[in-house]
Amino acid sequence: MPAARISRRRAIQALGGLGLGAMGLLTGGCTFTKGTPPITDVGLDKKPAPGRKTNIEVYSVWGSTVGAGMVNLAKKFEEAQPDIGVRVTYAPAGMGGGAVQQKLFTAIAGGNPPDVGQLVPSQAPQWVELGIMTDLTSRYRAAGLSQDDFFAPVWESITYKGSVWQMQWDADPNFPFFWNKQLFEDSGLDPEKPPKTLEEVDEYSAKILKKSGANVTKIGMIPWDSYGYSNSLFTWGFGFGAEFYDKEREEVTPDHEYSVKALEWIVKYAKSVGGADRVTVTPPGLQLHPFSTGNIGMAPLVAPNYRDIKTNAKDMKIGATLLPFEPPGAKAPGAGAWIGGWGMFIPATARHKDEAWEFLRWVGATDEGTKAQWETVGFPPGYRKAAVLAEIRDDPVMAPFYDVLTTATNIRPPVPVADFYFTQLDEQISNAVLGLSTPIQALRTVKKNVMGEWDRFRKEVEA
């Protein structure tokens, strides 16, 4: 890939300004709401430690405690060695569903990039094609790092066309499956027996369902709202055995047989309760995940939501297991799980690539750095040999997420128009759930639009 400074025009392409849609979505999987501007940005930047031979600049997209954690992580790196100082610059993404890292792209286009940037791993193919990223393959090799050192989905995420482009320091396990034992018991279900298949989910849901007039007051599950429409289809689609990308043919496959079956199931579930708009299980002003109300029987959850519920609803009896699946496409519980997260990369025009690599390697592929990251930022590492994984395994809150981290095999499709793909899924799945289109119509529309955008992107890159 070219290492030359990219033009402002090409940077705008990566931002989505020429039809790429909502590029730079900050879902990362869905561990936290990333990049939301905090009430104050105090504590989200730091100057490099004095007296260092070289200073690098690291862009951080996060506000709140996560952003403060990134600052503390940089301080720990400085404490671990005497030569490299770290400047952390708060570079939030924009607001809205299609948030973009405008400060990052402006800096790259202007020839003044940071030494380290952040990205959702699925964004890498597009950014590589635009010449924005540095090929790290030789640095991985020199450090003795290989495929065996990382969880399989993480290695798939960080590689593209035979090269390694990023360090995935956050491996987000999406999702364990939780159930409300008290609601199970109240509904005549065995509180110690969660469903293993989606057919059983339907059976359990029929017993849990309660209505007040036309409105749903208790529901088995809300399968169209597993952290957004697209994430819902990835989760339950994988749970049916779907594939969303044909790597050999370079083709997205949202209309795969089992993707269609998954969306048909989601739509049928919504209709079975009277429609998605009839679900009224959450009181106004609720600050916790809706599962905390006790009105939802089963839900996939991310770690912060689960931790908040355990902290604030101490009397709630919750069970945890792997996601239900549906044969014959899927073969076992947990088939629907996938790994999201965040990676760090070195811009192609960065000035201090050697020092930036030392920061990436320390944070994402050493025992000391992965432990420091867990203690400051708090995300599970993608480095499967990290000693801190034992702490995560033994943590009563994180144990279900450790199980997913070590067994999941899926990632969201790493294609050069990934974020456009996800946005199209959000739009069209919403239409299907609301009855504005059939599942197959919705998914065929996604394929048509995404393949058209991919063709357009290829022409732009080749121009």
Cα 215 to chain centroid, rounded: 32
Question: Residue 43: what pLDDT?
Answer: 85
Alpha helices in 228-352, H assignment, sequence order: 229-240, 257-272, 303-312
Residue 107 to residue 124: CA distance in whole angstroms: 18
- At 140-173, the pLDDT tens digits run 999 999 999 999 999 999 999 999 999 999 999 9
Question: Residue 18: what pLDDT?
Answer: 35
Question: Residue 93: what pLDDT?
Answer: 80
Q: Which residues contact 230 (CB under 8 A, 6 or more apart)?
A: 422, 423, 425, 426, 429
What is the pTM for the complete model shown? 0.91
pLDDT band at 463 (very low <50, low <70, confident <90, very high): confident
Q: Report whether 365 contacts 373 (CB < 8 A).
A: no
pLDDT band at 252 (very low <50, low <70, confident <90, very high): very high
Question: Residue 7: what pLDDT?
Answer: 57
pLDDT band at 192 (very low <50, low <70, confident <90, very high): very high
Host H or E run for residue 360: helix 353-365
Question: Residue 334: what pLDDT?
Answer: 97
Comparing 294 with 95, the larger pLDDT belongs to: 294
Token pair recorded at residue 280: 């009224």
pLDDT band at 442 (very low <50, low <70, confident <90, very high): very high
Rounded to 5 degrees, what angle do the CA atoms 127, 128, 132 make?
65
Residue 111 to residue 5: CA distance in whole angstroms: 6
- Mean pLDDT across 23-44: 49
Q: Would the pLDDT of 37 be above 80?
A: no
Q: Report whether 408 contacts 400 (CB < 8 A).
A: no
Q: Are strands 338-345 and 117-119 parallel, antiparallel or unpaired?
A: antiparallel
Residue 155 to residue 137: CA distance in whole angstroms: 12
Which of 8-17, 80-89, 99-108, 448-457 comes out lowest in average pLDDT? Answer: 8-17
Domains within the chain, CATH numbers bracketed: 38-172+339-411 (3.40.190.10), 177-337 (3.40.190.10)
Which contacts (CB < 8 Å, 24+ apart) does range 249-253 have? 250/415, 250/454, 251/451, 252/413, 252/415, 252/421, 252/446, 252/447, 252/450, 252/451, 252/454, 253/447
- At 386-441, the pLDDT tens digits run 999 999 999 999 999 999 999 999 999 999 999 999 999 999 999 999 999 999 99
- Average pLDDT of the chain to the nearest whole number: 91
| 38 torsion bin: left (phi>0), alpha (psi -120 to 50), beta (else) | beta
Question: Residue 405: what pLDDT?
Answer: 97
Q: Would the pLDDT of 340 be above 80?
A: yes
- At 81-106, the pLDDT tens digits run 999 999 999 999 865 434 579 999 99
